[in-house]
Structure 1
Amino acid sequence: MKTLKVILLKFYKILFWLLGKSFHKDYRLIIFESFLGKQYSDNPRAIYEYMTAHYPDYRLLWSADRRHRKVFKTLDIPYVTRFTPSWMIYMNKAALWVTNSRLPLWIPKPDDTLYLQTWHGTPLKKLGTDINSVLMPGTDTDKYKRNFTAESSKWDYLISPNSYSTEIFKRAFRFYGVTLETGYPRNDHLFNNDNPLFQDYIRTKLELPIDKKIILYAPTWRDDSYHERGKYKFDLQFDVEKMQAELGDDYIVLLRLHYLVAENLDLSSYKDFFYDVSAYEDVRDLYIVSDLLITDYSSVFFDYANLKRPMIFYTYDIEHYRENVRGFYFDFETMAPGPLVETTEHLIETIKMTETTDFNEIYSTAAFRARFCALEDGEAAKRVSDRIICHLES
């Protein structure tokens, strides 16, 4: 089976290369991809939306995983199915690739194609070559780092949300191209659409009650807890029944799992309290509609901080995660812009505290935003797009 896989990858690589030699370059074609073709979201979406409005002469096309094409069809977004012959042709013809995660290593980048890597978060947990021990299935530490840097060597541009990230990205990715320190385009939405009208629209779209506060629970994945390569396990580590009994009169919870998590949690027993919105196309709308964020080590809290709303960190496994899984770039316990809790009881108590306590003052969120969110102003997509289009047209 392994030998067959190697042969197929070599075949795909040769086919990709041959198709690139068979078609003329289209210097007005741009290919976008988000989270391995699974979503219409994140930084690529923000750049796509800006370019659609301000650069109508360009042809913009999305790369979509065959299992996740529904969202593109529903929203009438032009797409091509990933890994098909048509996809290989378009990838070769494109003047620009825009993606927020790594492409398969077997894909050779044509010399006359520009590659914009947007990435997908300000780093708390260690990345790339900074990871001491890789626990993900299907690889080992040396191979992971070697493959990561082989991919990053193809990038021409890399977006950074702040100077803190720029320093880490350059080292952890061993990136020697051009870093665009612009803020994250995906956060423009939080500045341009955070209003009651849009919040009501999202509540209606998701069929959420209008008389309850919304908690967004958005945990990350664990490298050492998996079904197989690329499919990670996740279990709710709090007492949902107790949460519903204590909070159900005033709150609902939106669950947003990481795109690498493969679980289909059965929440039918907690209807009208717990809503699984993992399949929703973009977490940015969920930020805006929520009153409170609960996360753990996910980079979502760097983005959510722009809204100046309470955040709680449910870190039931923090010692194991810090010491054995990834490790952190800074002292998370003292610098987190919200309290760290480890039990259901403490979590419920802290949620109730957000109703009477000024979290922003207690947890110095203004200082946190000054360090990590200073570039966010609603115009990052413009800065990135204008720079890239200028390069294409030069």
Structure 2
Amino acid sequence: MIKRILSKIYKIIFNFSASVFPIKSGVVLLETFNGKLPSDNPYAIYQELIKKMEKKNLYWGIKKENMREAKEKYPDLNLVPRFSVKWLWLTTRANFWIFNSRMPNWLKKNKDTVYIQTWHGTPLKKLGADIQEVAMPGTDTEKYKNNFIVEAKRWDYLVAPNEYSEKIFKQAFQFQNNVLEIGYPRNDELVNNKDNKQLRNELKQKIIGKESGRVILYAPTWRDDYFIKKGSYKFFMPFDLEKITQCLGKEDTVVIRPHYLVGDSINIEGYEDQIKICMNEPINELYLISDLLITDYSSVMFDFAILQRPMLFYPYDIEHYKEKLRGFYLDYNEVPGPIAQNEKDFYQFIQEFMSYGKFSQYEDKVHAFEQRFCQWEDGRASQEVTQVLLDKLSR
């Protein structure tokens, strides 16, 4: 009861502050996934901002439970605990917000704050107001949709990676303000380094401990029904570690990129030489070292397409996922690689790739996919967003 009263008082003070106090010119507040470690589009933008703006005015909102790790990994960043007094001051008075996910609806934006929403992926699965049924604790379908729409009204700018995404964002978020048709800032690194062999070898040495051998990246999507109960999640490994290692050469490596909530539940005991779990490494670094991507319904396919390397799709639960969870915007048969219908097919496709280094019949499809979904990726998106801020400040 007391906690609820204090929370209500906090919100009143916050929204009063946002209504009364003027913004602080040049102050920028950035957040990644509501206070996780700096990464994704906001971090890519930050790396460009520090070249053009005073570092003392650039702040990161971090969840209290992530502060210790954030300080260790990013000692040079201005880190502020979310919902602290300083965070409240920054949020109400910042000149700019740069976030990649939604903020709480009760949080009022200062009328002079410019909110740049970068979002965090090209959508394959239905999102926002387009979702037919929401299977998440603590909300219902109508409330979930309405929260999305209310939040999107606060966005002054929305970053879009391609024409396909722009159309969906406008529909799913009912967004009517400015769209930045520039590609994703986080993908600048991929565009600018896709042929950098020296960097690739350095990253392989750092991540898997060797430069030799091929790297296969398995990056499945997060499933809404991983959730069992608060603090408890399940994960299903759709292939046998013994069988997949039998498909590999001695120097080859499979890198598994699970969602951070389920990574600790994966047991690779006995296969550590050729199977690596990489939960914390920057995803772009994993892309750059990988010769083959294996995924299912994850939007990683759209970013990886920049590299124009082979992809294999293993949607082992596609009927359940399509019918029971979010559904798709895209006909799944349009994915740029072979689709393994079962575990036997999966191992056969792995063996084909290990023999030829590609899926010859899909090379044209990979190129067409890249042309459609990476059309605005020119390696300058971070610069473009930074210029928006500089133009606003010069007025």
Q: State the TM-score, normalized to the length of structure 2.
A: 0.91
Compared CA separation, residues 248 and 267, structure 1 to 2 (3 A) = farther
CA distance in 2, matches of 1:374, 1:321: 29
- Asked if the contact 1:305–1:369 (Cα under 8 Å) also holds between the matched residues in 2, the reply is yes
In structure 2, the residue matched to 1:42 is 40
* More divergent stretch after superposition (218-227 vs 3-12): 3-12
- Asked if the contact 1:233–1:263 (Cα under 8 Å) also holds between the matched residues in 2, the reply is no
In structure 1, the residue matched to 2:79 is 79
In structure 2, the residue matched to 1:352 is 351
Q: Deviations over 1:253-287 (max 9, x none)?
A: 2221235657542333321222121122x211111
Computed over aligned residues only, the root mean square deviation of the Cα atoms, in angstroms, reads: 2.3
- Asked if the contact 1:238–1:343 (Cα under 8 Å) also holds between the matched residues in 2, the reply is no
In structure 2, the residue matched to 1:65 is 63
- Asked if the contact 1:28–1:58 (Cα under 8 Å) also holds between the matched residues in 2, the reply is no
TM-fit CA distance, 1:107: 1.6
In structure 2, the residue matched to 1:376 is 377
SS at match of 1:227: strand
SS at match of 2:309: coil
SS at match of 1:341: coil
Q: State the TM-score, normalized to the length of structure 1.
A: 0.91
Q: Deviations over 1:262-321 (max 9, x none)?
A: 7542333321222121122x2111111111111111101100000011111110001111
Count of equivalent residues? 390
Q: Deviations over 1:94-141 (max 9, x none)?
A: 111111111122221111211110001111110100011111222111
Amino acid paired to 2:153: S
CA distance in 1, matches of 2:143, 2:231: 16
Compared CA separation, residues 276 and 66, structure 1 to 2 (3 A) = farther
CA distance in 1, matches of 2:273, 2:250: 10
SS at match of 2:247: helix
Compared CA separation, residues 4 and 230, structure 1 to 2 (3 A) = farther
Q: Deviations over 1:311-348 (max 9, x none)?
A: 11110001111122111112112x10111114333222
Amino acid paired to 2:201: D
Name which of 26, 29, 45 aligns with 2:27.
29
SS at match of 2:270: helix
In structure 1, the residue matched to 2:88 is 88
Q: Does 1:126 align with 2:130?
A: no
TM-fit CA distance, 1:231: 6.7
Compared CA separation, residues 285 and 8, structure 1 to 2 (3 A) = farther
- Asked if the contact 1:316–1:343 (Cα under 8 Å) also holds between the matched residues in 2, the reply is yes
Amino acid paired to 1:148: F
TM-fit CA distance, 1:187: 0.7
CA distance in 1, matches of 2:312, 2:373: 18
Amino acid paired to 1:255: I
* More divergent stretch after superposition (115-124 vs 4-13): 4-13
SS at match of 1:293: strand
TM-fit CA distance, 1:225: 2.9
- Asked if the contact 1:223–1:232 (Cα under 8 Å) also holds between the matched residues in 2, the reply is no
Amino acid paired to 1:300: V
SS at match of 2:72: helix
TM-fit CA distance, 1:68: 2.6
In structure 1, the residue matched to 2:221 is 220
Amino acid paired to 1:388: L
Q: Which runs of 5+ in 2 are unaligned?
A: none
Q: Which runs of 5+ in 1 are unaligned?
A: none
In structure 2, the residue matched to 1:51 is 49
Amino acid paired to 2:62: A
CA distance in 1, matches of 2:391, 2:55: 14
Q: How does 1:147-186 map to 2 (within 5 A)?
A: 147-186=147-186
Amino acid paired to 1:347: F
In structure 1, the residue matched to 2:280 is 279
In structure 1, the residue matched to 2:207 is 206
SS at match of 1:139: coil
In structure 2, the residue matched to 1:341 is 340
